[in-house]
Amino acid sequence: TVSWVGQYQVMEQAAKRLELVIPAVILLIALLLYFNFKNWVEVAIILLTLPLSLVGGFWFIYWLGYKLSVAVDVGFIALAGVAAEFGVVMILYLDQALLRRQARDALRTWHDLRLAVIEGTMLRLRPLAMTLTLVVGGLLPIMFSHGAGADVMKRIAAPMVGGMFSAALLALLVIPALYALWQKRRLGLR
């Protein structure tokens, strides 16, 4: 018989654990989001956009020539957390802008809804840009580091560096668009 031991064995065990942990974490995130928003549509908007936010991380990993590994998986898990945070905060800003317009009785048409969504998105633009700059700026020294442990740390940081850009674009473009379409249908606006 042939038995592989060492790093391969550790990688196989970690992959088996991740097969259980990732769905459990996604379910836990969905429940926490529901407790926060009390609305499954907003939860679905955030969860459906999460895979799209990982695209930048995959492209960056491919560009660097890294293979998928446990370290890269950890980086993607961290990226998914930041992307979910982007989505949650964006929807909170959009909800607040919508409520402000409704309080002023200025939400009667599709145009009014679009203005509310633009207002909420623009209010979120600066904090999102600051978060993006902080995370990428904080991880760039790791990407250029050398020495003991640098190879593993680069593989953890790489998905986050690449994915932060796609996550930010997604939060600024796709989430507001989906939100506007959902609210248009929910409110029956024309």
Find, among 16, 171, 162, 169, the residue nearest to 79 by Cα: 162
Return the minimum-mean-pLDDT range out of 114-123, 149-158, 169-178: 149-158
- Domain hosting 21: range is 7-187
User: Is 57 within a domain?
Assistant: yes
User: Is 2 within a domain?
Assistant: no
Report the C-alpha gap between 105 and 99 in whole angstroms.
10
Give the pLDDT band (50/70/90) at residue 4.
low
Give the pLDDT band (50/70/90) at residue 177.
very high
Per residue in 26-67, pLDDT (tens digit) is: 888 899 989 988 989 999 999 888 888 889 999 999 999 998
Say what the pLDDT of residue 55 is. Answer: 92
User: Is 1 within a domain?
Assistant: no
Contact 32, 157 (CB under 8 A): no
Domain count, the chain: 1
Question: What's the pTM?
Answer: 0.84
Which CATH number covers residue 45? 1.20.1640.10
Q: What's the Cα-to-Cα distance from 20 to each of 16, 50, 113, rounded to whole Å?
A: 7, 19, 41
Per residue in 104-121, pLDDT (tens digit) is: 998 889 999 999 999 999
Give the pLDDT band (50/70/90) at residue 149.
confident
Per residue in 119-147, pLDDT (tens digit) is: 999 999 999 999 999 999 999 998 888 88
Q: Which tokens sit at 180?
A: 């506007």
Say what the pLDDT of residue 19 is. Answer: 84
Per-residue DSSP letters for 40-83?
HHHHHHHHHHHHHHTHHHHHHHHHHTPPP-HHHHHHHHHHHHHH
